[in-house]
A and B are shown apart, each in its own frame.
Chain A
Amino acid sequence: MVKPQDNPLPKLELELRRGALVLAVLSQLREVQYGYSLRQALAVRGMPIEEGTLYPLLRRLEGQGLLASEWRIEDGPPRRYYRLNDAGERLLAELTASWNALAGTMAGLLEGGTT
């Protein structure tokens, strides 16, 4: 019998989500967002992400030349706003196609069972 603390589901689910994280973030950066607003946009759509994880990810994506960023001071503290640049748009399109293909494959595998 599987003990509650041995239940592997949460960890495996987290790994699944982690794999889709970059695509989820890129999808929300077609519009200009700063970190906290992006996090809320993702959470509202059912993709919560730890704040501590999101900011380093945004920096990495920018370092890879996929995002453009600028500092803005409006009401509140200075905030760094991000959005996709051309390379980011292209990658988003390619990753979306890969995701759709993968989702189709997985659906076939899961519905087909062992037949």
Chain B
Amino acid sequence: MNPNEVIDAYLADVMRRVPGGARDGIDLELRGLLADMLDDRAREAGRPADDAMVLELLRGFGTPAEVAARYHAPSLVIVPAEGTRTFAWMALVGVGLQWALTLPGVFRGESFARWWLSWGLGALWWPGLMVMLSLLAAWLRQRGLPKPAWSPHQVDPERVHRGAMAFGLAGFAVGVAGMTSLPWLVGAMPPPLPGVLAFDPAFLHGRAWLVLPLWIGSFAVMARALSQGRWSVRLRRLDLAFGAAWLLLLGWWAATGGMFLAEATDQGARGGIALVMLFVAIDLVVKLRRRQRAPRLSSTLGRRTP
């Protein structure tokens, strides 16, 4: 290759990466610039330009990708710098959780290839969804979406946000109504759903009813907190006790199975229950830590108060 051919090849690589409308101008500009630079080098070296001189010049000028990047306007920031760590953790934990819940089947003898082509790769829906939501948020930011005004964090952790809690309780009631009527609803569903979602009668009569006192108790505690506007010590203890009771009941169901007549549905339900147990456990830990921190916070504030 002669020096001109080397420059041609380099510029072809750059041009593939620059905006289409500006290609001709940038090509001519860079060609002129590189020719001037090469002339200078040849004059300084006291010999005509050769391949080695051109290669040295181009390597110092930057890779084609680097050169092309200089011609691009600053691109859309999908995940802002302050959110990168949280984004990465949420993506990894989401995928890890799905793998942790589904991978044990492989150790029990199921095909790894089958797992990989179903849950293994399928778990990547989560980071994909996160990217799509981040893209939407970036687009809204670019459109100048009004930023929410900053407001101080709630100092009293036991204070109840009445609007959110009322909404949560309404959702709770609707969910409970749906779940308790499910055994009757299933019978009215079109085939094959009655067969797929049919409960095991032994489960309904032996273990399922225990959920009712827990539902009623949890609902009553939350309704009381809503009416009082804050969590009292007694209500918080009751809430923790109900949380622990939920863990025990769900753990019992998940461990023993036999909730649905269809084996596949039962397996799916056990996986779902394990996920719910994880959320309940996290909620319990957060509440317990908050209870431990609250006295420290109040004593610190007390010391600062003149």
Do A and B come from the same complex? Answer: yes
Q: What does DSSP make chain B's interface, helix, strand, loop or mixed?
A: helix
B31, B33, B61, B67 — most chain A CB neighbours (10 Å): B33
Known contacts: A52-B70, A53-B70, A56-B71. The answer to whether A80 contacts B22 by CB under 8 A is: no
Contacting pair B67 A52 (CB below 8 A):
yes
Q: What sequence of 0s and 1s flags, for each residue 70-83 of chain A, a beta carbon within 8 Å of any chain B beta carbon?
A: 01000011111000
In the assembled complex, B110 has its CB within 8 A of some CB on chain A: no
- How far apart are A60's CB and chain B's nearest CB, in angstroms? 8
The residue from B33, B61, B70 contacting A36, defined by CB atoms under 8 A apart: B33
Q: When the two chains form the complex, which single residue of A53, A76, A80 contacts B29, counting CB atoms closer than 8 Å?
A: A80
- The answer to whether residues A36 and B36 also contact, given A55-B29, A71-B28 and a CB cut-off of 8 A, is yes
A51 within 8 A of B: yes
Distance of A76 Cα from B33 Cα, bound (Å): 11
Tell me how far the C-beta of A51 lies from the nearest C-beta in chain B, rounded to whole angstroms: 6
Question: If A52-B61, A52-B62, A53-B70 touch, does A78 touch B33 (CB 8 Å cutoff)?
Answer: no
Q: Which residues of A contact B (CB under 8 A)?
A: 34-36, 51-53, 55-56, 59, 71, 76-80
B28 touches A35 (CB 8 A): no
Q: B32 in the interface, Cβ–Cβ < 8 Å?
A: yes
| CB within 8 Å of A: which B8-52 residues | 22, 25-26, 28-33, 35-37
The contact size tier of chain B is 10 to 19
A52→B14 CA distance, assembly (Å): 12
B32 touches A36 (CB 8 A): yes
Given contacts A36-B32, A71-B28, contact A59 B37 (CB under 8 A): no
Known contacts A36-B32, A77-B31, A80-B29, A51 near B22 by CB under 8 Å: no
Q: Which residues of B contact A76 (CB under 8 A)?
A: 32, 35-36
Contacts of A34 in B (CB 8 A): 32
Q: Is the CB of B32 within 8 A of A79?
A: yes
Cβ-defined contact, A59 with B71, below 8 A: yes
Residue of A nearest to B25 (CB): A80
Contact A51 B61 (CB under 8 A): yes
CA A39 to CA B36, docked complex, whole Å: 11
Chain A residues within 8 Å of B67, by CB: 52
Pick the residue among B35, B36, B70 that contacts A56 (CB under 8 A): B70
With A and B bound together, what is the CA distance between A59 and B37 in angstroms? 19
Report if A51-B70 is in contact (Cβ < 8 Å); known contacts: A59-B22, A80-B28: no
Complex: chain A residue closest to B71, CB-CB: A56
For B71, the chain A residues whose CB sits under 8 A away are 56, 59
* Distance to closest chain A CB from B48 (angstroms): 16
| List of A residues within 8 angstroms of B33 by Cβ | 35-36, 51, 55
Q: 11 new A-B pairs (CB below 8 Å) besides A78-B28, A79-B32, A80-B28? A: A36-B33, A36-B36, A36-B37, A51-B33, A52-B67, A55-B26, A56-B70, A59-B25, A76-B32, A77-B35, A77-B36
Residues on B with beta carbons closer than 8 Å to the beta carbon of A77: 28, 31-32, 35-36
Given known pairs A56-B70, A56-B71, A77-B35, the reply for A35 and B29 (CB within 8 Å) is: yes
Chain B nearest CB: distance from A52 CB in Å?
Answer: 5
Shortest C-beta distance, A83 to chain B (Å), equals 16
Q: List 24 A-B contacts (CB under 8 A).
A: A34-B32, A36-B33, A36-B36, A36-B37, A51-B33, A51-B37, A52-B67, A52-B70, A55-B29, A55-B33, A55-B70, A56-B70, A59-B25, A59-B26, A59-B71, A71-B28, A76-B35, A76-B36, A77-B28, A77-B35, A77-B36, A78-B28, A78-B32, A80-B25
